[in-house]
Structure 1
Amino acid sequence: MSRASVGRYRWLSGTSFGLLLADLICNSLFLLFYHDTLITLLIYIIQDVCLVFSLILFFLALFSTSLSQAGLVGELVHKFQWCIIVAVMYLGLSLGFHSWSLEQQWQKPKVYIWAPGMVALFTVQRVVGGVHYYLYKRAILQLSNKEFYAKKLLLVASNIKETLIQIAQKTEPIVTSLAFLMLHLTFYGNLALKIWIQDLAEKNNIN
């Protein structure tokens, strides 16, 4: 890994872990200010912004690797698919819980309301949040592996090789069909030539 890559990775990983810590703090603080709608709204906004930026930084970390620059984006997405899926799920659950709880607070600001559905959504959001923390931290640490910053020429060559193999696999049925057609044309052409020669010989015998 080059010095530029090391510096970029340190900045991305440090900022990503800071956003995770901010999200964890917001999850812990909102219950203390649940009766204050404005403070709760501010905490929710900070938390949602942290989640969006953490997802953006993760994709920046993916696209800064040599694999993505060589065109192997599908390989990266497949390798970190669960991290991406859980991060999107956690963001969606957080937005849903924040919207529902704020709606309940604005309707009855002085009443501490926890409907059964809200309790279930809160529980699922917290469980998915724990899984998100684990997968996200593991993915950021995995991106420090040297295999993601290998020499670009080798990766480009590998990418070209795989592309040629895919093209060959896709065009193989077409080539086979053309060869089969040429074989049939040759067979029927020879048969027609033999019939023409026989007719010509029969005409000569008659004459």
Structure 2
Amino acid sequence: MENDRFKIILMLQYFLLCVDLFMNSFSELIRSANLIMLVLFVVQDICIIFAIIVLFLTFFNTYIFRAGLVVILVKKFKTTIVISFLYLAFCIALHVHGMQLRWNEPTIHVTASSFWVLFGIQRVSAVFYYYFYKRTCIVLGDPRFYEYSKWIHNEFIKRR
């Protein structure tokens, strides 16, 4: 991938991760304003969806994908793909459940154990999501994914 294009895509991916991190860190501080919190949750979920889309667009841009060796990409980045979709599901579940519990009384402290279990799972999955997504972004910047190389040829022969 061209160096400038890689930098732009990497900056976009980091920006989306930072927005998500910011939302996770500070969304609880404004829990008294339901509508604002709902908008922030929607923005967070959209940023996660965009991050996943950008990741797949980066996959589609590789020489490996264009050569028809999609299995190699899926195998190499399976953990990131699964964690990204699980994290999105946990975020949506937490946002929906939290808004249901707080909608009528936004200033109450939620004591439902289901919320706190889901909150813990979402926050732990966030750490894994940030790590694997960032690692995948950096690995996909390797030029060998975007040009013909001996290891791609060997993989192609193995798959035949």
TM-score (norm 2): 0.91
Q: Which runs of 4+ in 1 moved over 4 A?
A: 154-158
Does residue 41 (structure 1) correspond to residue 76 (structure 2)? The answer is: no
Q: How is 1:80-95 mapped onto 2 (pairs within 5 angstroms)?
A: 80-95=77-92
Q: CA deviation at 1:111?
A: 2.2
The question of whether the paired residues in 2 share the 8 Å contact of 1:86 and 1:132 is answered with yes
Q: CA deviation at 1:67?
A: 0.7
Bigger proportion of residues as helix: 1
Q: In the alignment, residue 136 of structure 2 is paired with which amino acid?
A: A
Match of 1:146 in 2: 143
Q: CA deviation at 1:28?
A: 1.3
Match of 2:120 in 1: 123
Q: In the alignment, residue 79 of structure 1 is paired with which amino acid?
A: K
Q: Distance in 1 between matches of 2:106 and 2:22?
A: 23
Q: Distance in 2 between matches of 1:13 and 1:7?
A: 10
The question of whether the paired residues in 2 share the 8 Å contact of 1:35 and 1:112 is answered with no
The structure with more radius of gyration: 1
Q: Distance in 2 between matches of 1:155 and 1:135?
A: 23
Does residue 13 (structure 1) correspond to residue 10 (structure 2)? The answer is: yes
For structure 2, list consecutive stretches of 5 or more residues without a partner in the other structure: none
- Cα RMSD after superposing both structures: 2.1
Q: Distance in 2 between matches of 1:86 and 1:103?
A: 25
CA offsets, 1:150-201, max 9 Å, x none? 228x957963x456x4xxxxxxxxxxxxxxxxxxxxxxxxxxxxxxxxxxxx
The question of whether the paired residues in 1 share the 8 Å contact of 2:80 and 2:136 is answered with yes
CA offsets, 1:83-136, max 9 Å, x none? 111111100000000000111112333422231110010001000000110010
Q: Distance in 1 between matches of 2:23 and 2:155?
A: 45
Q: Distance in 2 between matches of 1:86 and 1:107?
A: 33
Give the secondary-structure state (helix, strand or coil) at the position aligned to 1:30.
Answer: helix
For structure 1, list consecutive stretches of 5 or more residues without a partner in the other structure: 166-207
Matched-pair identity in %: 31
Aligned length: 160
Give the secondary-structure state (helix, strand or coil) at the position aligned to 1:58.
Answer: helix
